[in-house]
Structure 1
Amino acid sequence: MRTRLLLWPALALLGLSSCLKIIKPGKDFGRYTPPAAPDYRMEDHWAALPDRRDSADVVPRGSRFENQQRDAPADVFFVHPTTYLWRKQWNADLDNDRVNRFTDDKVIRGQASAFNNTARVYAPRYRQATLYSFFDDENSTNGAQAIEYAYGDVRAAFEYYLEHYNRGRPIILAGHSQGTVHATRLLHEFFDTNPQLRRQLVAAYLIGYEVKPDEYQILRPCEDSTQTGCYVAWNTVAWGNEYAPYQNSLAVNPLTWTRDTITGPARLNLGGVPYDFRRLDKRIVDAKVHNGLLWVHPPEPKGYPRFLLPGNFRLWHSFHLADYALFYGNIRQNAAARVRAHRMRLGGQ
């Protein structure tokens, strides 16, 4: 399995090879007992639900944003990124309080909440594949099996959501990193093949992983800020970096919502949120699409982690952890704009 942009700051601190040894599970996938399966009838097996208080309800301190899930006209099904980094087993246990707290405090708060002005937030917990799964040896099937196992939970959660929660409402599908791996597959299996669900699709935000412009048979990338029934993607790196494996990937500029290579100036940036979520930093970065990546000039304020990755015989700077954070305000505004456009195209439903 080819190494992707699914890394953690520890890789930069420890070095890639030594870190991988530390986080590699000690035995093969087939030799350990998997954690108990989720039961999506139980609220505890959801990281976010719209009718209870959770981390998806918050907004950045000092912003004028509001949580409007109660009256939101759409839903978002959000699949969180990797927050399980350890070697005890290939897939996370849903009863791991440490993992759940980190998931809620960082990625549900810092990513899923971007949609709470226009959509009711549904975010399942799932037996996510441990980080090492995405770096597993090419001759091993352990990582692939762990990822497949995780997707089974996400698929089950989405089926439960459709049957018990959706009630025909417009749907935003969103993910990051490992979450985007699973969300991309949901689009294949549920939306690309189902005309009714395609009609309900507002847009998919497939951020922080490799997604192709021709990924689907019918679904197509979004070409502007109000197109619906389409998908966007990007992977953020420091200006001037190249990464050959991603040169044919989809990159949409979240400042302009186009795929062209014109630089979106920082004045178009409606605000980023740092890792501690304590403020909204307007005009935090510019952005330019380049060879399947999204280039940004590194932000001056602290709180937007970046780290070094090996590639093209040199180290390059990734803002993978800040794919949402640097464009939080723009994602929030764009989701609302696409929901409005979707409702108009369906006659104001």
Structure 2
Amino acid sequence: MNSLKKIVYWLILPLVILCVILILFGRQWVLSYLAPPEIFAMADAPVAPQYSNAYFWVAHPDKNDTSDLVPMALDTSKDLAQKEVDVFFIHSTGFVGPGGWNSTMENKNSEAQSIEYMLSSMASIFNGCCNIYAPHYREANIQAFIPDKFTAGTQALNLAYQDVEAAFSYYLAHFNQGRPFVIVGHSQGTTHALRLLEQKIDNTSLYQQLVAAYLVGYWLPKDKFERGFQQIQPCTEANQTGCVVSFDTYGQGGELDAKVPHWYPTGWESSQLEDGTTKPTLCVNPLSWTMTTDKIPSTAHLGAMPVEFKRTPIDMLLANNPGFIFQELPRLTPELTWAQCMSDGRLEVMSQTDNAFSNHLSLPNNSYHVLDYSLFYGNIRENAMQRVTQFMASNQAFQIEQ
């Protein structure tokens, strides 16, 4: 009995000490503890992934992964019987430290639990239309997006993008076999997806295979369509193809994030202009698939999916993967919210209180960043199938024999 008490004591003591430290030193200590080095050094970068190894694909048609899950009671009769289109999914930031500027991609680390969440709440949306490919990459530390770490942070983002581009090249050479594809990203994944579209797809022969791009959760500046893209345009209709959908979700009275880095052919820039204003941001409303500022009622909302976030702050601090594997997804909640594109580019929704959507890493500016996809799960799932169907019907080279 005494031995058991000692074991319990030594298990609990570190957590108690950690809690005391957090109480005494607070947020600044946490940020300092998790922070990467001041300077990015390529010599310290983790070993590059080899995409011939299945380990470095967190989602793949030949693997059983959580992108295969379907919400309970979902009517799948509209799912496309033949998956003749692929999704290339670039996940968002799970790596919060401690450690270097880029993730080592080890399953034992806490970001592996975040990837489980992303595959289940985001990537699974597209399994009704498409084969899902998602690379594991040396994602940049979340502090790469802090304004005063701009130089080192963008170097870390460059390294992460290098992996994404390598994965896409491997996908094209070994998996794609000439099929149409959809590019999907969220947050950091959207940063890399934008660059991938601009450098490798726009104004090339690959553009003919692009069904659409869902680039959500990263404040897409409208000037990308003037200073970067030559063919690709914003989506303004539900069945438009070869275009980009983008939005960032906030509760009522939210405040648009500023000072985030964006890549241009001329180099990295901040989203905040010299006069202190933020660049105009693209907003495509996922309840109407238009760019108008009309308030679209909740009757158009087909269902949100309340996936529970399983990684705790303690897991993050200890860089620990709790190992939770999603076995099933809850049923969708329809007519949960209205949505409206605001003049500053935010997508505003009804503030969520006392429900499954109200406690997902709530931020001071009322951002619903973690919920960008899952709040509109039903609408995005239906729209992806709609765009794929339209693309296949309009492009004779890709039409399926009936």
TM-score band w.r.t. shorter chain = 0.7 to 0.9
Q: Distance in 2 between matches of 1:261 and 1:254?
A: 12
Residue of structure 1 aligned with 2:68, choices 37, 42, 57: 57
Q: Distance in 2 between matches of 1:133 and 1:47?
A: 23
Task: Work out whether 1:206 is the aligned partner of 2:215.
Answer: yes
Task: Work out whether 1:279 is the aligned partner of 2:334.
Answer: no
AA of the residue aligned to 1:185:
R
Which ranges in structure 2 are unaligned for 5 or more consecutive residues? 1-24, 259-277, 309-328
Which residue matches 1:158? Answer: 168
Contact persistence 1:70–1:120 (CA under 8 A): no
Residues 1:45 and 1:343: Cα distance change in structure 2 (over 3 Å)? same
Which residue matches 1:39? Answer: 50
User: What is the CA deviation profile of residues 141-194 of structure 1, one whole-angstrom value per residue up to 9, with x for unaligned ones?
Assistant: 211111100000000000001111111111100000000000000010112130
Task: Work out whether 1:261 is the aligned partner of 2:315.
Answer: no
Residue of structure 2 aligned with 1:225, choices 213, 238, 261: 238
Residues 1:31 and 1:46: Cα distance change in structure 2 (over 3 Å)? closer
Equivalent pairs: percent with the same residue?
38
SS of the equivalent of 1:307 reads: coil
Q: Distance in 1 between matches of 2:120 and 2:283?
A: 24
Contact persistence 2:94–2:115 (CA under 8 A): no
User: What is the CA deviation profile of residues 220-265 of structure 1, one whole-angstrom value per residue up to 9, with x for unaligned ones?
Assistant: 0001100000001000001233437456100000000000011111
SS of the equivalent of 1:308 reads: coil
* Cα RMSD (Å): 2.2
- How many residue pairs get matched? 328
Q: Distance in 2 between matches of 1:68 and 1:187?
A: 27
Q: Distance in 2 between matches of 1:58 and 1:286?
A: 26
Contact persistence 1:287–1:295 (CA under 8 A): yes
Which residue matches 2:89? Answer: 78
Which residue matches 2:394? Answer: 345
AA of the residue aligned to 2:363:
L
Residue range with higher mean Cα deviation, 322-331 or 70-79 = 70-79
Q: Distance in 1 between matches of 2:160 and 2:219?
A: 18
Q: Distance in 2 between matches of 1:69 and 1:279?
A: 20
Contact persistence 1:208–1:320 (CA under 8 A): yes
Residues 1:19 and 1:121: Cα distance change in structure 2 (over 3 Å)? same
SS of the equivalent of 1:71 reads: coil
Q: Distance in 2 between matches of 1:131 and 1:158?
A: 23
Which residue matches 2:363? Answer: 308
Contact persistence 2:251–2:352 (CA under 8 A): no
Which residue matches 2:142? Answer: 131
Residues 1:260 and 1:15: Cα distance change in structure 2 (over 3 Å)? farther
Q: Distance in 1 between matches of 2:147 and 2:256?
A: 20
Which residue matches 2:152? Answer: 142
User: What is the CA deviation profile of residues 96-122 of structure 1, one whole-angstrom value per residue up to 9, with x for unaligned ones?
Assistant: 433463144200111000000001000
The structure whose Rg is larger is 2
Contact persistence 1:171–1:200 (CA under 8 A): yes
Residue of structure 2 aligned with 1:190, choices 182, 200, 212: 200
Q: Distance in 1 between matches of 2:146 and 2:163?
A: 21
Residues 1:308 and 1:52: Cα distance change in structure 2 (over 3 Å)? closer
AA of the residue aligned to 1:287:
A
Residues 1:250 and 1:199: Cα distance change in structure 2 (over 3 Å)? same
Q: Distance in 1 between matches of 2:255 and 2:142?
A: 24
AA of the residue aligned to 1:144:
T
Residues 1:283 and 1:155: Cα distance change in structure 2 (over 3 Å)? same
Deviation of 1:218 (Å): 2.1
AA of the residue aligned to 1:293:
R
Q: Distance in 2 between matches of 1:144 and 1:171?
A: 28
User: What is the CA deviation profile of residues 196-221 of structure 1, one whole-angstrom value per residue up to 9, with x for unaligned ones?
Assistant: 21111110001000212341222100
AA of the residue aligned to 1:191:
I
Contact persistence 1:50–1:70 (CA under 8 A): no
User: What is the CA deviation profile of residues 22-61 of structure 1, one whole-angstrom value per residue up to 9, with x for unaligned ones?
Assistant: 3211452217622111010111100000122111100122
Contact persistence 1:69–1:116 (CA under 8 A): no
SS of the equivalent of 1:231 reads: strand
Which residue matches 1:87? Answer: 98
Task: Work out whether 1:170 is the aligned partner of 2:219.
Answer: no
AA of the residue aligned to 1:23:
L
Which residue matches 1:25? Answer: 36
Residues 1:93 and 1:69: Cα distance change in structure 2 (over 3 Å)? farther
Which ranges in structure 1 are unaligned for 5 or more consecutive residues? 1-13, 310-315
Residues 1:244 and 1:321: Cα distance change in structure 2 (over 3 Å)? closer
Q: Distance in 1 between matches of 2:257 and 2:167?
A: 35
Residue range with higher mean Cα deviation, 323-332 or 101-110 = 101-110
Contact persistence 1:86–1:130 (CA under 8 A): yes
Matches within 5 A, 1:96-115: 96-99=107-110, 101-115=112-126
Residue of structure 2 aligned with 1:249, choices 281, 296, 299: 281
